[in-house]
């Protein structure tokens, strides 16, 4: 698209922001701030690995499709 | 997938859900996740305004979309939150049979659109499906389809808006007016500013959000249930083995929980309803028409079909998992309204609450909001296009400037949203009209497919044949619906069995209306004078020289990708037979 920001750049930014927020929340919960009631399978810490994965993909897309 | 046929998502039933307490309590981080989404979609609208100055840019996104963007948008326009919640509820109610609406009810039609129909839509350079009907059959058929489509689109948008506001109240405890106005003003702003391009960009974001927000549920659910084999065993023990088989129980209406026969699934759903929706509903076809080349336009629905096949993983599987892991028993919405128990429609939010903590829960709720808003954006952008090109520009003001039509499109977006909001408030006071409007929408889709497909594949089809066939098919659908509505026992004649249930009625009504449309079109065409073949260039198979596509490698050809998707589709149906 003519010298416009790519949709994939927007996707990367969104993923990065969400990934950092969610992974950060997961890490915060590790230090005595677990939610109540605890979600089922909370011991797997899905917020950390799901948020971490989103952060990684978000970073990749943000850098790869950044405006030049 | 088709909101009009989702049994558990019956909108009247949704309204009957108890409203006194919310299912979900959001934390600060969840609110932040939702706020970031709203900020980005509004920014996209303002950012894309500079690329939406001509009518081609505003209504057709400049025909610059890649196959991937158009394909994701194509499948995303149909992936609304009501559909997600409704079909997850259907999976809980009917078992794996609900998957038919995502596989046989979508994949063959999407592949057919990409391989057979797309060249004619694309080569004709039409802006819309009514626009193609104009080129092929003339003004009468165009007017009939455009007026029906425009009216039904904004009405459906309003009904979905109200139903979604009710869901937000049930799930989050949000005020109805707050949900209606915040979502509709946001959609109006970003679509009016950026046009179809803005709607498509947001649909791609929505697609990502839905997967990110919903995918954790089946993953964690399967871990808790001990894997697919254990899940099947648990469901078979609790509910019966018919809940985990796609085809083996459809030999008779009474041997499966849906009360349906395989002929209805194959011919009614797979052939007529699905082809009607995926190949002629302008809401989804508009996304593909925005592709930058014929090859991209052909690949878009094929890419969409690949992703569509995966959707049951995040919609049907959570419903099945709920049968195994949820400690509470869900009931129909009308029962829930009396007893206070959770209803089928709440299965997805309940599963979200079960597995998702702060942050992840906000992501799941954002996915639902995004699904609703992009569905509404799809409706209003399609409405603006059909109104401007096929009603206003075709019959009221044929010689206006390009900038005038763009301004009309922007105003139409606001007006479409306002009509939708008005409809939402009318529905608030007269809920029963919702199911009638949904039924109205369904009347038109099946016969329209008959008209379009005959127009594309049969040179002999005439202007009069197209018009009278479409009208007769639509009237047949209305007549059958009224007949069964007044006398429910008539269902035995419509669905050819005394054991048929409501789902079967939808399928057979579509099948009969399509057959009537095709027969009347053929008969009237044979009695009227055909158009010269030279006039059908670019519109009809056999009268059109399709441009050659030069792919560097054999594996880049759309037909190869469509074949691969078809093989996976057949394999999945056999595996889950």
Report whether the peptide linkage leading into residue A37 is cis, meaning its omega lies within 30 degrees of zero: yes
Confidence of residue B441 (pLDDT cuts 50, 70, 90): low
Are B212 and A11 in contact (CB < 8 Å)?
no
Distance CA B275, CA B111 (A): 10
**Contact yes or no for B208 and A15 at CB 8 A:** yes
Confidence check: pLDDT of B1 > 50: no
Using a CB–CB cutoff of 8 Å, tell me whether B40 touches chain A.
yes
Q: Which residue of B has its CA nearest to A1?
A: B64
Contact B220 A11 (CB under 8 A): no
Residue B116 CA: distances (Å) to CA of B279, B298, B561:
10, 9, 14
Residue A2 lies in a domain: no
d(CA B305, CA B328): 35
Could you tell me if B185 and B55 are in contact, meaning their C-beta atoms sit under 8 angstroms apart? no
Q: What is the mean pLDDT of residues B6-22?
A: 48
Tell me which residue of B427, B421, B519, B505 sits closest to B465, measured CA to CA.
B519
CB contact burial B168-194 (16+ within 10 A = b; e otherwise): bbbbbebebeebbebbbebbbbbbbbb
CA distance B442 to chain A (A): 33
Cβ distance B438 to B11 under 8 Å?
Answer: yes
Kindly tell me if the per-residue pLDDT of A26 is higher than 80: yes
| Opening angle at CA B161, ends B362 and B380, nearest 5 | 110
pLDDT of B427 > 90? The answer is no
Q: What is the Rg, in whole angstroms, of the alpha carbon atoms belonging to chain B?
A: 23
**B201 and chain A: CB distance < 8 Å anywhere?**
yes
Contact A51 B359 (CB under 8 A): yes
- The reported pLDDT for the residue numbered B318 is 94
* Structure-block tokens of residue B327: 């400690």
Distances (CA, A) of B13 to B4, B8, B90, B181, B409: 13, 8, 13, 23, 35
Contacts of B36 in chain A (CB under 8 A): 14, 17-18, 21
Tell me the residues of A at the B interface, defined by beta carbons under 8 Å apart.
1-2, 4-5, 7, 10-11, 13-15, 17-18, 21-22, 25-26, 29, 35, 38-42, 44, 46-47, 50-51, 54
Range of the domain at A25: 7-64
From chain B, the residues in CB contact with A17 under 8 A are 36
pLDDT average, residue stretch B274-294:
86
Residues on chain A touching B205 (C-beta within 8 angstroms): 7, 10-11, 14
Please identify among residues 222-241 of chain B the ones whose CB lies closer than 8 Å to any CB of chain A.
223-224
The percentage of chain B sitting over the pLDDT mark of 90, rounded to a whole number, equals 30
> Do the domain assignments include residue A1?
no
| Interface test mutation site (partner A, options B357, B367, B370, max chain A beta carbons within 10 A) | B357
- Residue A20 lies inside a defined structural domain of this protein: yes
Tell me the pLDDT band of B19, cut-offs 50, 70 and 90.
Answer: very low
- Give yes or no for residue B121 having a pLDDT over 60: yes
Is A2's pLDDT higher than 70?
no
Here the tokens at position B550 are 């030069």
pLDDT class of B442 with cuts at 50, 70, 90: low
Q: Which tokens hold the place of B87?
A: 């079909």
More confident residue, B382 or B345: B382
Element spanning B16, H or E = none
* B32-87 pLDDT tens trace: 999 999 999 899 888 888 888 888 888 888 888 899 999 999 888 888 777 788 88
For the record, the structure tokens of B163 come out as: 């139903």
Dihedral in degrees, nearest 10, Cα atoms B432, B435, B441, B443: -110
* B253-268: pLDDT as tens digits: 777 877 788 888 888 8
Check residue B437 and give its pLDDT: 61
- CA contacts within 13 A on the Cβ side of B55: 18
Determine contact: B205 vs chain A, CB below 8 A.
yes
CA gap B152, B131 in Å, rounded: 17
Mean pLDDT of B386-394: 90
Residues in chain A within 8 Å Cβ distance of B322: none
What is the Cα–Cα distance from B425 to B408, expressed in whole angstroms? 25
Tokens found for residue B529 = 């004078």
Q: Which CATH architecture has domain B3-435?
A: Up-down Bundle (1.20)
Per-residue confidence at B18, pLDDT binned at 50, 70, 90?
very low
Q: CA B458 to CA B40: how far, in whole Å?
A: 47
Size of interface A-B (CB pairs under 8 A): 90
Q: Does residue A23 sit within a domain?
A: yes
Over residues B477-505, mean pLDDT: 82
Assess contact for A53 and A20: CB atoms under 8 A. no
B499, with CB counted inside 10 A (0-12, 13-18, 19+), is: middle
Domains contained in chain A, number: 1
B364 vs A: CB within 8 A: no
For residues B540-559, average pLDDT: 80
- Out of A24-28, B337-341, B567-571, pick the least confident: B337-341
Q: From B363, which residue of chain A is nearest by alpha-carbon distance? A: A18
Quick check: B222 pLDDT over 60?
A: yes
pLDDT at A52: 96
Q: Which of B37, B44, B216 sits opposite A50 (nearest CB)?
A: B216
Which helix (H) or strand (E) segment holds residue B361: the answer is helix B360-385
- Chain A residues inside the 8 Å CB shell of B356: 39, 46
Angstrom distance (rounded) from CA B343 to CA B525: 50
What share of chain B has pLDDT > 70, as a percent? Answer: 94
B357 and A CB contact within 8 Å? yes
Q: What does the alpha-carbon distance between residue B564 and residue B182 come to, in Å, rounded to a whole number?
A: 43
Domain map (residue ranges) of chain B: 3-435
Work out the average pLDDT over B174-197.
87
Residue B524 φ then ψ, to 5°: -65, -40
Q: Tell me which residue of A15, A66, A60, A10 sits closest to B202, measured CA to CA.
A: A10
CB-hemisphere CA count at 13 Å for B320?
31
Distances in Å between the Cα of B315 and the Cα atoms of B103, B203, B323 are 13, 18, 14
What's the token pair of residue B390?
């096929």
What ipTM was reported for this prediction?
A: 0.94
Judge contact between B477 and B509, C-beta under 8 A. Answer: yes
Probe site for chain B from A7, A14, A62 (most B CB atoms < 10 A)? A7
Closest CA of chain B from A68, distance in Å: 17
Token pair listed for B429: 């006071």
User: What value does the mean pLDDT take over residues A22-49?
Assistant: 91
Mean pLDDT, rounded, of chain A: 90
Q: What is the mean pLDDT of residues A12-39?
A: 92
Q: Is the Cβ pair A14, B44 closer than 8 Å?
A: no
Contact between residue B247 and residue B121 where contact means Cβ atoms under 8 Å apart: no
Compute the distance between CA of residue B480 and CA of residue B490 in angstroms, rounded to an integer.
Answer: 9
Residue B342 has pLDDT above 70, yes or no: yes
Placement of tokens 């499709």 in the chain: A65
In A, minimum Cα distance to B291 occurs at A1
Longest CA–CA separation in chain A, Å: 50
pLDDT at B9: 43
Average pLDDT estimate for B438-462: 84
Nearest to A46 among B47, B205, B220 (CB): B220
Rounded Cα distance between B136 and B474, Å, is 19
Determine which of A6, A12, A46, A67 to mutate to test the interface with B (most B C-beta atoms within 10 Å). Answer: A46
Say which residue the tokens 């083996």 belong to.
B248
CA distance B352 to chain A (A): 9
Which pLDDT band holds residue B6 (cuts at 50, 70, 90)? Answer: very low
Mean pLDDT in residue range A17-30? 94
* SS3 labels along B44-81: HHHHHHHHCCCHHHHHHHHHCECHHHHHHHHHHCCCCH
Average pLDDT value over all residues in chain B:
85
Instruction: Note whether A58 and A15 are within 8 A (CB).
Output: yes
Considering only the beta carbons, identify the residue of B29, B48, B354 that sits closest to A39: B354
């Amino acid at each position: 698209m003519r010298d416009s920001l790519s949709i994939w750049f927007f996707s990367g930014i969104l993923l990065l922001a969400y990934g950092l927020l969610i992974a950060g929340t997961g890490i915060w919960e590790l230090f005595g701030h677990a939610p109540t009631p605890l979600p089922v399978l909370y011991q797997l810490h899905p917020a950390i690995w799901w948020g971490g994965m989103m952060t990684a993909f978000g970073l990749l897309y943000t850098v790869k499709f950044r405006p030049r | 997938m088709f909101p009009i046929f989702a049994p558990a998502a019956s909108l009247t039933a949704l309204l009957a859900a108890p409203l006194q307490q919310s299912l979900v309590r959001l934390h600060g981080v969840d609110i932040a996740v939702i706020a970031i989404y709203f900020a980005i979609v509004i920014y996209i609208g303002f950012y894309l305004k500079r690329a939406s100055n001509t009518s081609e840019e505003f209504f057709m996104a400049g025909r610059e979309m890649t196959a991937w963007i158009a394909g994701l948008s194509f499948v995303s326009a149909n992936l609304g939150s009501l559909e997600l919640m409704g079909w997850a509820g259907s999976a809980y109610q009917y078992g794996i049979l609900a998957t038919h609406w995502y596989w046989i009810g979508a994949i063959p039609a999407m592949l057919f659109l990409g391989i057979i129909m797309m060249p004619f839509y694309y080569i004709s350079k039409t802006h819309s499906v009514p626009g193609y009907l104009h080129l092929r059959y003339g003004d009468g058929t165009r007017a009939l389809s455009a007026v029906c489509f425009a009216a039904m689109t904004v009405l459906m948008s309003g009904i979905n808006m109200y139903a979604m506001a009710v869901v937000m109240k049930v799930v989050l405890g949000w005020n109805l007016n707050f949900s209606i106005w915040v979502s509709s003003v946001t959609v109006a702003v970003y679509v009016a500013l950026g046009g179809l391009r803005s709607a498509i960009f947001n649909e791609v974001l929505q697609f990502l959000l839905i997967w990110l927000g919903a995918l954790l549920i089946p993953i964690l659910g399967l871990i808790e249930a001990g894997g697919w084999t254990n899940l099947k065993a648990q469901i078979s023990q609790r509910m019966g083995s018919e809940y985990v088989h796609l085809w083996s129980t459809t030999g008779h209406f009474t041997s499966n929980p849906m009360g349906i026969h395989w002929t209805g699934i194959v011919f009614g759903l797979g052939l007529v309803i699905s082809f009607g929706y995926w190949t002629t509903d302008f809401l989804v076809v508009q996304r593909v028409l925005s592709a930058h080349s014929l090859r991209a336009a052909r690949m878009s629905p094929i890419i969409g079909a690949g992703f569509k096949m995966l959707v049951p993983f995040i919609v049907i599987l959570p419903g099945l998992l709920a049968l195994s892991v949820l400690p509470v028993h869900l009931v129909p919405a009308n029962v829930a309204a009396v007893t206070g128990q959770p209803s089928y429609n709440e299965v997805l939010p309940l599963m979200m609450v079960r597995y998702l903590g702060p942050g992840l829960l906000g992501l799941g709720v954002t996915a639902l909001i995004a699904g609703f808003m992009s569905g509404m954006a799809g409706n209003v952008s399609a409405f603006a296009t059909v109104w401007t090109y096929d009603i206003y520009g075709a019959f009221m003001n044929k010689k206006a400037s390009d900038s005038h039509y763009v301004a009309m499109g922007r105003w139409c977006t606001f007006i479409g949203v306002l009509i939708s909001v008005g409809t939402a408030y009318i529905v608030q006071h007269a809920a029963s009209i919702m199911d009638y409007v949904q039924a109205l929408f369904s009347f038109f889709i099946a016969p329209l497919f008959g008209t379009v497909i005959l127009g594309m594949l049969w040179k002999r089809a005439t202007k009069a044949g197209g018009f009278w066939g479409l009208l007769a098919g639509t009237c047949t659908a209305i007549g059958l619906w009224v007949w069964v509505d007044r006398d429910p026992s008539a269902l035995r004649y419509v669905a050819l069995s005394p054991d048929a249930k409501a789902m079967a009625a939808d399928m057979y009504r579509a099948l009969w209306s399509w057959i009537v449309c095709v027969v009347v079109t053929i008969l009237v065409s044979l009695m009227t004078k055909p158009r010269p073949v030279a006039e059908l260039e670019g519109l009809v198979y056999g009268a059109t020289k399709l441009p050659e596509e030069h792919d560097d490698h054999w594996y880049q050809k759309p037909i190869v990708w469509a074949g691969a998707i078809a093989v996976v589709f057949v394999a999945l149906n056999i595996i889950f037979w």
